[in-house]
């Protein structure tokens, strides 16, 4: 049997692993690159969606986690720890199970989507809810990893960035070259850092003819990079990117500047509009934070910052099933209509 083997085996020669690295994998990566017809028409461009919600735990974190957990296991770690707005904890918990390791997670109290909390719980992670935001959780997790024998698997761990850069490789491999623009939501800023590294590596050895401009979008209530200063009390309905002091801030600015890109903000209203458009018109169900990339693309296009005819990839980072409350709340039909079997055809307008 041969099939997709996960990002470490598929891109082994481009990753810091050796023969002696134990590969802990759920066969992550190899996610769909979906042409987006409505977005293409709206922008006059050729827009594709990199659907990272199709990863094993439903987000892009799995690319980084297969690397981080494999390297931690190689180093002899028996336990891992992370701070998380939800997806990192879900991914760490699952990969820790595969590795036979203990997983501890620190999450901001009441501010993580139920689906993500459920994942961490069902995979047996030890969960601490911190009376604070993600930034407080990360400070705590860093301290614990420095003082106790537990490996930190947040994106400040370089192995995470290495794994996540493979998304850029897949895009170039599928399109035949790099896109003109790549659009991402930005939270802790690890992913934009990783994509930029991947694109640069492919351009450096000629696998791609150029690098794309990197466009990153933060939620307006949690937009420290746009504001130029940390946000003490970040707020947004996109809980995954509710972060006031991103760990990879400087790297994100470097990706923006070196690529001739931009980092801007989108309002919760714009995020939810893009979230609904993706589901209702492209058939792609993402979580709200993921829609920040698409909201940002639409904003930039309206502002004339996107030339027509460009080839654009938007990463949609996480699966809509993780946080379905927003789907139900804003649905065109408020609730399912109860009917007797006999009248179903009538009520559906079929009879």
Please give the residue ranges that form the binding site for ligand F0G (CB under 6 A).
Answer: 59, 61, 84-88, 155, 185-191, 240-241, 287, 289-290, 317-318
Q: Of 46 and 159, which has the nearer Cβ to ligand F0G?
A: 159
- What are the beta bridge partners of residue 83? 106
Q: Confirm if 292 and 219 have CB atoms less than 8 A apart.
A: yes
User: How far is residue 23's CA from residue 244's CA, in Å, rounded to a whole number?
Assistant: 34
Reading phi first (left if > 0) and then psi (alpha if -120 to 50, else beta), residue 330 is in alpha
Q: Of 46 and 285, which has the nearer Cβ to ligand F0G?
A: 285
In angstroms, give the least distance from the CB of 334 to ligand F0G: 26
In angstroms, give the least distance from the CB of 217 to ligand F0G: 10
Question: Would you say 176 is a known binding-site residue?
Answer: no
User: Which residue is it, tokens 């990969």?
Assistant: 95
Length of the chain: 351
Question: Would you say 64 is a known binding-site residue?
Answer: no
- What is the phi/psi pair of residue 282, to 5°? -110, -10
Question: Would you say 191 is a known binding-site residue?
Answer: yes
Residue 219's closest CA among 288, 139, 137? 288
Provide the sign of the torsion angle of the four alpha carbons 192, 197, 202, 206, taken in this order. positive
Provide the sign of the torsion angle of the four alpha carbons 105, 241, 30, 64, taken in this order. negative
- Alpha-carbon Rg for the chain in angstroms: 20
In angstroms, give the least distance from the CB of 230 to ligand F0G: 15
Q: Of 179 and 190, which has the nearer Cβ to ligand F0G?
A: 190
Question: Would you say 193 is a known binding-site residue?
Answer: no
Q: Of 168 and 188, which has the nearer Cβ to ligand F0G?
A: 188
End-to-end Cα distance, the chain: 49
39, burial (CB in 10 Å: exposed 0-12, middle 13-18, buried 19+)? buried
> How many of the other CB atoms lie within 10 Å of CB of 346?
11
In angstroms, give the least distance from the CB of 240 to ligand F0G: 3
Question: Would you say 44 is a known binding-site residue?
Answer: no
User: How far is residue 275's CA from residue 192's CA, in Å, rounded to a whole number?
Assistant: 20
In angstroms, give the least distance from the CB of 247 to ligand F0G: 8
In angstroms, give the least distance from the CB of 144 to ligand F0G: 16
Question: Would you say 318 is a known binding-site residue?
Answer: no
Q: Of 60 and 202, which has the nearer Cβ to ligand F0G?
A: 60
In angstroms, give the least distance from the CB of 241 to ligand F0G: 5
Question: Would you say 157 is a known binding-site residue?
Answer: no
Q: Which residues are annotated as a binding site for pyridoxal 5'-phosphate?
A: 87, 187-191, 317
């Amino acid at each position: 049997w041969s099939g997709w083997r996960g990002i470490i085996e598929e891109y082994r020669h481009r990753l810091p692993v050796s023969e002696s690295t134990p590969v802990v994998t759920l066969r992550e990566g190899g996610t769909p690159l979906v042409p987006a017809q409505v977005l293409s028409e709206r922008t006059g461009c050729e827009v594709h969606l990199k659907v990272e919600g199709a990863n094993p735990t439903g987000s892009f974190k799995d690319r980084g986690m297969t690397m981080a957990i494999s390297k931690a296991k190689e180093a002899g770690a028996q336990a891992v720890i992370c701070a998380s707005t939800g997806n990192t904890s879900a991914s760490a918990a699952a990969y820790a199970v595969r590795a036979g390791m203990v997983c501890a997670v620190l999450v901001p109290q009441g501010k993580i989507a139920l689906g993500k909390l459920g994942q961490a719980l069902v995979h047996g992670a030890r969960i601490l809810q911190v009376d604070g935001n993600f930034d407080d959780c990360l400070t705590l997790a860093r301290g614990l990893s420095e003082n106790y024998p537990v490996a930190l698997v947040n994106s400040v761990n370089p192995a995470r960035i290495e794994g996540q850069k493979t998304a850029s490789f897949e895009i170039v491999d599928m399109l035949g070259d790099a896109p003109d623009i790549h659009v991402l939501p930005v939270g802790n800023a690890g992913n934009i850092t990783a994509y930029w590294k991947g694109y640069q590596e492919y351009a450096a050895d000629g696998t791609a003819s150029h690098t794309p401009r990197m466009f990153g979008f933060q939620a307006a209530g949690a937009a420290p990079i746009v504001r130029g200063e940390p946000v003490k009390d970040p707020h947004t309905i996109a809980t995954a990117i509710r972060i006031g002091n991103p760990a990879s801030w400087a790297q994100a600015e470097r990706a923006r500047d070196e690529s001739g890109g931009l980092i801007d903000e989108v309002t919760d209203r714009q995020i939810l509009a893009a979230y609904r458009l993706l589901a209702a018109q492209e058939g792609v169900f993402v979580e709200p934070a993921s829609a920040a990339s698409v909201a940002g693309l639409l904003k930039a296009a309206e502002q004339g910052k996107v030339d027509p005819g460009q080839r654009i990839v938007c990463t949609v980072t996480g699966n809509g099933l993780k946080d379905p409350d927003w789907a139900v709340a804003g649905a065109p039909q408020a609730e399912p209509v109860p009917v007797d079997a006999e009248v179903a055809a009538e009520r559906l307008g079929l009879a």
